[in-house]
Amino acid sequence: MTTIAFIGLGNMGGPMAANLVKADHEVIGFDLSPASCDQARADGVTVVGSALDAVRNADVVITMLPAGTHVLSVWSTIIPIVKDDVLLIDCSTVDVDSARKAHALARERNLLSLDAPVSGGVGGAKGATLTFMAGGSEAAFERAKPFLSHMGKRIVHCGEAGAGQAAKICNNMILGISMIGVAEAFVLGEKLGLSHQALFDVASTSSGQCWSLTTYCPVPGPVPTSPANNNYQPGFAAALMLKDLKLAQDAALDTGAVTPLGAEAAQLYALFNGDGHGGEDFSAIINFLRGRTA
């Protein structure tokens, strides 16, 4: 049994911490939200009153927080007091620059650290089927793997510090762009009198095939499990897609990468969110393209 501190027990962190409890680890948790703390307590997490109390005796510290500012604030608070042989893992989705700064804080004390953002959403967090994209040293990755495997089914070492976040925002830029492309095709098909099923049957077995079509089809019918069949309940909320597309655009500006479609996707999701649809699944962008949100 390992003592694991888990900071950030929200929609993702809560069920991830619960899976570590199920794997017989001692999990000491902290969150600013009383509701998140109550749920974690019910899931078997020992909830304490501060991040410092959570990490004091921990062998592993995991953070799952909204953004880079939260991660840097928590890591700079806890690093001075953690044990010398602790392993620090941040699973939040944050900008690459903040991820590298967090690693640098850990290096000042010679601690092993990993950025390990996830894909798979709340369903993946509950079912322990997340994909982890990890950045950091081989030693940190090898030590983290057994713990990550209790929360996910695929764990990829993407490279050195920040590489996990880099992989995450590149992947989600593909996802945002491809969902808009699939949605545009269905809207055009509707105008041309083509049934959803006919377009799906052709494109899903042709060169238009992609995850946004075959797993997350934005119209109801062809893929019964896609959020379109459930009134676009997330799933993966449009607000989180916008967050990730903005992170990709920030990184593109920083590095000089040319990402015109990523920029356009960020703009479209900003308009969609601005219209009050941030809580809907990101595949609901098809309704925006149909002009229903104007």
Q: Return the active site residues.
A: 168
Q: How far is CA 254 from CA 65, 159, 239, 249, 268, in A?
A: 23, 19, 23, 9, 21
Q: Tell me which of 3, 39, 93, 98 binds ligand NAD, using CB under 6 A.
A: 93
**In the complex, what is the shortest distance from the CB of residue 94 to ligand NAD, in angstroms, rounded to a whole number?**
6
CA distance 196 to 2: 51
13 near ligand NAD, rule: CB under 6 A: yes
Question: Which of 33, 57, 197, 209 is the binder for ligand NAD (CB under 6 A)?
Answer: 33
Provide the minimum distance between the beta carbon of 64 and ligand NAD in the complex, in angstroms, as a whole number.
Answer: 5
Contact set for ligand NAD, span 106-165 (CB under 6 A) = 118-119, 121-122
Q: How far apart are CA 54 and CA 56, in angstroms?
A: 6
Report d(CA 59, CA 26) in Å as an integer.
10
Q: How far is the CB of 8 from ligand NAD (least distance, A)?
A: 4
Give yes or no for residue 66 binding ligand NAD (CB under 6 A): yes
Q: How far is the CB of 22 from ligand NAD (least distance, A)?
A: 18
DSSP state of 230: G
> How do beta strands 152-159 and 60-63 pair?
unpaired
Contact status: 233 vs ligand NAD (CB under 6 A): no
In three-state secondary structure terms, 3 is strand
Shortest Cβ distance from residue 40 to ligand NAD (Å)?
9
- Contact between 91 and 118 under an 8 Å Cβ cutoff? The reply is yes
**Would you say 131 and 124 are in contact if contact means Cβ atoms under 8 Å apart?**
yes
Asked whether the beta carbons of 8 and 65 are under 8 A apart, the reply is yes
Task: Give whichever of 81 and 198 is closer to ligand NAD, judged by the CB atom.
Answer: 81
Both tokens assigned to 145: 């793997």
Element (H, E) at 249: helix 238-255
Residue number, 51 or 105, with CB nearest to ligand NAD: 51
Name which position in 17, 40, 62, 74 contacts ligand NAD (CB under 6 A): 74
Query: Strand (E) positions, 8-128?
Result: 26-30, 46-47, 60-63, 87-90, 112-115, 118-119
Q: Is residue 92 near ligand NAD by the rule CB under 6 A?
A: yes
Q: Which of 4, 18, 27, 51 binds ligand NAD (CB under 6 A)?
A: 51
Closest approach of ligand NAD to the CB of residue 54, in Å:
9
Residues sharing a CB contact under 8 Å with residue 153, sequence separation 6 or more, in sequence order: 128, 129, 130, 131
User: Per CB under 6 A, does 7 bind ligand NAD?
Assistant: yes
> Is 289 near ligand NAD (CB under 6 A)?
no
Question: Is 43 among the residues that bind ligand NAD (CB under 6 A)?
Answer: no
Restricted to residues 176-215, the positions that interact with ligand NAD (CB under 6 A) are none
- List residues near ligand NAD by CB under 6 A: 7-13, 30-33, 36, 51, 64-66, 70, 74, 92-93, 118-119, 121-122, 236, 240, 243
